[in-house]
Amino acid sequence: MCGIAGIVCQDRDDRIPISLPRMISMLHHRGPDARRMHVEPAAGLAHARLSVIDLRGGDQPLANDDRTLWITFNGEIFNYVELREYLERGGHRFRTQSDTEVLLRLYEERGRRALAALNGDWAFAIWNSRSRTLLLSRDRMGVRPLYYTIVGRTLLFASEIKALFADPRVSREIDPESVDDIFTVWSPLAPRTIFGSVRELPPGHSLTWHEGHVTVSRDWRPGFVRKSHEQLPDRDAEEQLRAHLTHATRIRLRADVPVGAYLSGGLDSSIVAALAAGERGRAGNGAPPLQTFSLGFDAAEFDERSYQRHVVAALGTEHHELQCTPADIVRVFPQVVWHAEAPLLRTAPAPLYLLAQFVRERGHKVVLTGEGADEVFGGYNIFKEAKLRRMWSERGRASRRAALVKRLYPHLPHLQRQSAALLQSFFHAAPDDLAHPCFSHLPRWSLTSRLKMFFSDDLRASVDGRDAVAEVVARLPADFASWDQLGRAQHLEITQLLPGYLLSSQGDRMAMAHGVETRFPYLDPDVVAFGTSLPDRLLMRGMREKVLLRRVGRTLTPPSVWKRTKQPYRAPGADAFFSTVGPAKAGHDGDDADYVNDLLSPSQIRRDGLFNPDAVSHLVRKFREGKAIGVKDDMALVGILSTQLVIHHFINHFGTDTHGALYTGSEALHRR
C-alpha cells in the first residue's frame, strides 16, 4: 500500500520531472518505507512505498523484462498467488515475489482485459515507453484513490490531490458545483472534486493518455440481478455466503507483515474478525493471536465497548482499545481535513484517524474492516426508512408506524417524544416522491440541501439553476426504473456514498494518513456479486436487516452481537467545538490556536467568500448557547468549518516556506 504519482508530456522537450520529487514527497505518509522514481524524456513515475508484500524485492516503479513497460501501483492484488501460478505455467519467469510484478506481467499478456481477472484494491499507472501511452486504472469499488489534472499538454496524476498541487502550474480553486454536490449528496459527483482543476478517476474506470489525448472508459459497474438466487434455499445461501466470506478474508490475510482487524462491536466487523481468527487457528499452534483494535467513547450513546469485549472474549484476540474524547476530535480535525481533501458533514472521520494512528503506534500496517456489509447485504436504516415511508403513504396513518420510526432511530431522542401525527407529517412521502427513482435518498438529500441557506450570494448565483439530484438521476443505469426498491437504494449507496465519502474520507485517507492499509472482505468482487444477486427476503425481512449475513454471524459471533439491531457508527458531534474543551484549547497551546473562531469569524468567512457571514454567526451563536440540538445544525457547522479548513489548507496557505521545503496547511495553521 503506497502513494503513487506521475507526469507525462506530449513533447519530449518538456522539462517534466522537475515537480515529481516534490509530488511524491507530499505522499510520504502513504508510503514511509521507500521512495523511488523512474524518469525518462517527457515522462516520470514515482512511488512512495509502504512495504507489505515482498518486503525486500517489491520496490517500484517496476519494469518488465525489456524495460518498455513501467508500473507504479498503490494497493494489493489479493489473488496474485493464483495469477502468478497461471503466468508461470505460461512460461513467465518472475524476478520478485511481489503482486506488482504479477499485475505487470498479466497486463503485458492481456492488456486492459487483465483487469477483469484482478481481485483486489488498486490504483495504478502503467507507462508504455515504446508507444508513449499511459494507462491509469482504479479498482471496482473505489477503495484506492486516484486523481489527475491536465496542464497544457501535460497530464499529472497522484494518489492524493496535495501531490498535484506540489506542481505550481496546477491551479487551486474551489469548484462551486462541487460545493453544491457536497451540500446535497455528501460528496462531489465523480469525476468532479472540490477543486476545479482536479479530476478523480471514478471507481471501476480506466484512463488512457496518448499524445495528449485522454480517454476515460468504464470497466465495471455493479449489477443487481436478483432473480439468479430467487429459488436458492436459505440454508444453501447461508453456506455459500459463508464460503465466499471465508475466501475473501483468507486472501486478505496475505501479507508479509501481521494483519489485524478493526472491531466495532457490530455484526459485520465481528464476522470478519471471527473468520480471520479462524484462519489463524488453521495456521497452527505457533501463530500469535489476531490483534484487534477498537474505539470507545465516554458518551454511552456512541460507545460499543461492551459488545466489542464479548467478541474479544469469544475469539480470544489480543485487543487494543482507544478511548476517544470530544477534545481529541477538535484537536485533530484540521489534520483530518488535510488528509480527506474535501469538506465533511460529520466529525466521524476524526476518531478513525486517531484509531489508525493507534494501530500504527502498535506496529501494525494492515487491518481488516467490516465496511461494505451494510451496502451489499442491506443493513442501513435508510433502506428501512424508505420501506416505512412507502408503507405509510400507501396505507394511510397508523400509530404502529410511529412506533416503528421510533424504533428505527433510538439514537435520536427528539423523535421519541413526537406524536404519530407529527411523525407522519415528517415521514410520509408525497406522490411525486414515490415515483422518483431515488425515492429512498430524497429525505437525506433534501435535509442536506437545506444547508445551502448558508451559501453566500456569490456562491448561490454561481450554482443557480443546477440540480445535483437531477445529475445523479441522469447517471443511473438505463433499466434502473425496473429494479426493485431495495436494489435501487443499495445501488445509490454503493456507487455514491461508499466511494465518495465512506471509503475515502472515513477509509483510505484516515488510515493512510498514518501508513495503515485497510482491507475490506465485504467488497471482494465475488462477495459483492453474490450479495447483489440475493432476493429481498435474504436481505431485509420486515424491519429486520441483513437477514442472511446475520445467519452466518449466528455461528461465528456471540448472541449479543448477532442478535443486535444495527447501531450506526457515530461520533460526538459539532458541539464538541464549543462546549467540551472550548475552541481556545483546540489542538495546541495558547490563544493563537483558536482555529474554530478564526475560520468562522465574519471577516474570514467574508474573505473566503463561500458562506454568508451573518448566517454563520447565527449558527455559531446557537451552538454557544447550547441550543443547536439537531442533525441539520450539526452538519451545517461541520460542513462549513471543514470547507473553511479546505480553503485554509489548500488555497490560502499551501506553498513553500522560506527554506523551500513543502509544508502542510495544518502546520501553517499551528504556527500562526
Partner 1 sequence: MEPYTQDLRHFIVDNFLFGDQSGRFAFSDTDSLQELGIVDSTGVLELVCHLQERYGIAVADEELVPDNLDSVDQIARFIERKRRDAKLVRAS
Instruction: Name the residues that contact partner 1, by CB under 8 A.
Output: 414-415, 417-419, 421-423, 425-426, 446-447, 450, 453-454, 612, 614-619, 622, 627, 629-633
Q: CB of residue 476 vs partner 1: minimum separation in angstroms?
A: 25
Q: Between the CA atoms of 347, 349, 355 and 356, what dihedral angle is there, to the nearest 10 degrees?
A: -150
The dihedrals phi and psi of 261, each to the nearest 5 degrees, come to: -145, 140
Q: CB of residue 586 vs partner 1: minimum separation in angstroms?
A: 23
Is 463 in contact with 356 (CB distance < 8 Å)? no
Looking up cell 484517524, which residue turns up?
Answer: 353
Question: Between 131 and 419, whose beta carbon lies closer to partner 1?
Answer: 419
Q: How far apart are CA 17 and CA 124, in angstroms?
A: 19
Q: How many CB atoms lie within 10 A of CB 555?
A: 11
Question: Between 492 and 628, whose beta carbon lies closer to partner 1?
Answer: 628
DSSP for 14-34 reads S-GGGGHHHHHHTTGGG--SE
DSSP for 342-366 reads S--SSSTHHHHHHHHHHHHHTT--E
Q: How far apart are CA 468 and CA 205, in angstroms?
A: 22
Question: Between 74 and 448, whose beta carbon lies closer to partner 1?
Answer: 448
Burial class (CB in 10 A: 0-12, 13-18, 19+), 338: buried
Q: CB of residue 302 vs partner 1: minimum separation in angstroms?
A: 18
Question: Between 460 and 585, whose beta carbon lies closer to partner 1?
Answer: 460
Amino acid at 10: Q
Q: CB of residue 150 vs partner 1: minimum separation in angstroms?
A: 38
Question: Between 270 and 424, whose beta carbon lies closer to partner 1?
Answer: 424
DSSP 544: B
- Residue 132 vs residues 46, 232, 499: alpha-carbon distances, Å: 17, 50, 31
Question: Between 113 and 624, whose beta carbon lies closer to partner 1?
Answer: 624
Q: CB of residue 400 vs partner 1: minimum separation in angstroms?
A: 17
Q: CB of residue 162 vs partner 1: minimum separation in angstroms?
A: 33
Cell of 135: 494507462
Question: Between 218 and 618, whose beta carbon lies closer to partner 1?
Answer: 618
Q: How far apart are CA 3 and CA 48, in angstroms?
A: 5
Q: CB of residue 372 vs partner 1: minimum separation in angstroms?
A: 30
Question: Between 283 and 422, whose beta carbon lies closer to partner 1?
Answer: 422
Give the dihedral sign, CA 270/272/276/282. positive
DSSP 192: B
Question: Between 306 and 419, whose beta carbon lies closer to partner 1?
Answer: 419
DSSP 202: P
Q: CB of residue 457 vs partner 1: minimum separation in angstroms?
A: 9
Is 479 in contact with 224 (CB distance < 8 Å)? no
Q: How far apart are CA 218 and CA 510, in angstroms?
A: 27
Nearest to 201, CA basis, from 370, 41, 4: 4
Q: How many CB atoms lie within 10 A of CB 226?
A: 17
Question: Between 460 and 541, whose beta carbon lies closer to partner 1?
Answer: 460
Q: CB of residue 501 vs partner 1: minimum separation in angstroms?
A: 22
DSSP for 120-142 reads EEEEEEEEETTTTEEEEEE-SS-
Q: CB of residue 638 vs partner 1: minimum separation in angstroms?
A: 15
